[in-house]
Amino acid sequence: MKIILKINEENNIKLSLFNGKKEKDSLEWKDENSLSRVLLANLDKLLHKNGLGLDPPTNSSNKKHKHRDKSTKIGGGVDKISGYKIISKVPRKWTTYRIADITLKTLKIGSLAK
């Protein structure tokens, strides 16, 4: 799966989850200089809705952990995401683009798709 983040000049943001070439799900919102607060929450919402999570999967063979989180029960977290791509109609130097880029890089959800 891949994550596509689209940013346009009117500050409309679309976060999409793709399985191959098919868009599985997406969230859209209007950015009001709040991307640093909203992007991570919306990404988490999108992933959980689709059976994934930001939490890394736990090792099910480890007997010490009696509790298994939802992301483990349904097959893992961001390790199921092979990459991301930012499609932006705003310049890379804009704060919105830079926040999106550093957030996705920090999550280490695969390499930047070309």
Q: Quick check: 31 and 113 in contact, CB under 8 A? A: no
Domain span including residue 19: 2-112
| pLDDT tens for each residue of 47-102 | 889 888 766 555 555 445 444 444 334 445 666 778 888 998 888 888 888 888 88
Please, which residues bridge with residue 3 across strands? 17, 84
Per DSSP, helices labelled H in 1-114 are 35-49, 70-73, 95-107
Q: What is the bridge-based pairing of β-strands 83-88 and 2-7? A: parallel
User: What is the model's pTM?
Assistant: 0.70
Q: How many domains does the chain have?
A: 1
Looking up residue 82, the CATH number of its domain turns out to be 3.30.420.40
Residue 107 has pLDDT above 60, yes or no: yes
Instruction: Please write the tens of the pLDDT for every residue from 36-48.
Output: 889 989 988 998 8
